[in-house]
Amino acid sequence: MTAQKTILRALAGETLPTPPIWMMRQAGRYLPEYKATRAQAGDFLSLCYNPELAAEVTFQPIRRYGFDAAILFADILLVPQALGADLWFVTGEGPRLSTITTQAEVDALKPVEAIHDTLNPIYETVRILSKGLPSETTLIGFAGAPWTVATYMIAGQGTPDQGPAHGLKAENRAVFDALMARITEATIEYLSAQINAGAEVIKIFDSWAGSLQGADFVDYSIKPMQQITEAIKERHPGIPVIAFPRGAGERYVGAHAAIGADCVALDDGVDATWAATHVQKDGCVQGNLKSSHMVTGGDALVSETRRIVDAFSGGPHIFNLGHGITPDADPENVQLMIDTVRGK
């Protein structure tokens, strides 16, 4: 069965006549069935930690659209919570965390091996999905990259420019490095446990990689993802890794080799034709339709989808958005995108 899964074939370097497709945040707030399940759970974190309901919202877009992959429904900030940070969500504003900005606060975090006490429900979600997904559907596990997770742990919330994390990095590099090391170790353990539970592919999301400049981009985006990838492949030979240094721009060039990833996910800030020449030559790429097309639809959606498919048709490609689908997206536009990719 596994050999027939199109996502795995693309990740292995095969150029397919029709690219496989899935969509970041495909289980989410744009779907009425998700909203109903979220209401049943009571709040976002309760949904993440309820294996039956988290599996249900992961299944929903597969039932509706027949995507080639399902991605585990969870959140990148569950790792900081498992390490001992307080985590809560403010309606309409997003996540809030207790901040980690001193060596004493880093030292007070739980040991890495203790994270499973909190994260066991997530692994149970993976087990449910592994048993329940259609045989042709690939199951993707994921985590946030250390830099992106650190930006939230240091600021206590999302920020426009990741300023607090850049500030700590400049003012107290030792504390910053210690926090990054702890997150990196915890992420390896978390992803390894997802694989043991049934995840077939791992994706590492570095959503704020683009704000790192100069050597910091290599030291704090590329190298931690490389360390995680190397550890995962040592423990789980044959498991493909997708890396997403969002906002990398021209620094996407060479990312496959630098990270050791089987696939590099591209945001919508780079042109597909350019990326085919400079990035896809090194391996599978994923992307990179603007998520705004899921809101506006129409001829522009169709033409841009076709352009991206054509641009990447000469090598291994997984069709996806350049960022997660937004809550204001029209579910009908998702179907239009899928039909366009599949030539219907």
Q: Write a three-state SS string for the chain.
A: CHHHCHHHHHHCCCCCCCCCECCCCCCCCCCHHHHHHHHHHCCHHHHHCCHHHHHHHHHHHHHHHCCCEEECCCCCCHHHHHCCCCEEEECCCEEEECCCCCHHHHHCCCCHHHHHHHHHHHHHHHHHHHHHCCCCCEEEEEEECHHHHHHHHHHCCCCCCCHHHHHHHHHCHHHHHHHHHHHHHHHHHHHHHHHHHCCCEEEEEECCHHHCCCHHHHHHHHHHHHHHHHHHHHHCCCCCEEEEECCCHHHHCCHHHHHCCCEEECCCCCCHHHHHHHCHHHCEEEEEECCCHHHHCHHHHHHHHHHHHHHCCCCCEEEEECCCCCCCCCHHHHHHHHHHHCCC
| Identified catalytic residue from 49, 65, 152, 252 | 152
Catalytic residue among 9, 25, 182, 246: 25
- The C-alpha atoms of residue 218 and residue 191 are separated, in whole angstroms, by 22
The span from the CA of 275 to the CA of 297, in Å, is 24
**Is-catalytic flag, 117?**
no
Rounded to the nearest integer, the mean pLDDT of the chain is 97
Percent of the chain with pLDDT over 70: 99
CB 280, CB 266: distance < 8 Å: no
Confidence of residue 48 (pLDDT cuts 50, 70, 90): very high
Is 38 assigned a catalytic role? Answer: yes
pLDDT at 92: 82
The average pLDDT across 3-28 equals 96
Give pLDDT tens digits for 291-339: 999 999 999 999 999 999 999 999 999 999 999 999 999 999 999 999 9
Task: Give me the domain span that covers residue 137.
Answer: 2-341
Residue 1: pLDDT band with limits 50, 70, 90: very low
- Looking at 29, 64, 307, 342, which residue is catalytic? 29
How many Å separate Cα 204 from the centre of its chain? 5
Buried/exposed code over 53-67 (b: 16+ C-beta within 10 A; e: otherwise): bbbbbbbbbbeebeb
pLDDT band at residue 3 under the 50/70/90 scheme: low
Token pair of 169 as six digits: 């990095």
150-192: pLDDT as tens digits: 999 999 999 999 999 999 999 999 999 999 999 999 999 999 9
**In CATH, what number is assigned to the domain containing residue 311?**
3.20.20.210
* Mean per-residue pLDDT, 102-125: 98
Report the relative pairing of strands 138-144 and 201-206 from DSSP bridges. Answer: parallel
pTM: 0.98
Angle at 99 between CA 96 and CA 103, to 5 degrees: 160
Which one from 38, 190, 252, 262 is the annotated catalytic residue?
38
Count structural domains, the chain: 1
pLDDT tens for each residue of 242-286: 999 999 999 999 999 999 999 999 999 999 999 999 999 999 999
- Give the pLDDT of residue 100: 98
Q: Is the pLDDT of residue 91 over 90?
A: no
Q: What is the pLDDT of residue 8?
A: 98
43 CB neighbour count, 10 Å cutoff: 12
29 is catalytic: yes
The one catalytic residue in 68, 75, 262, 267 is 75
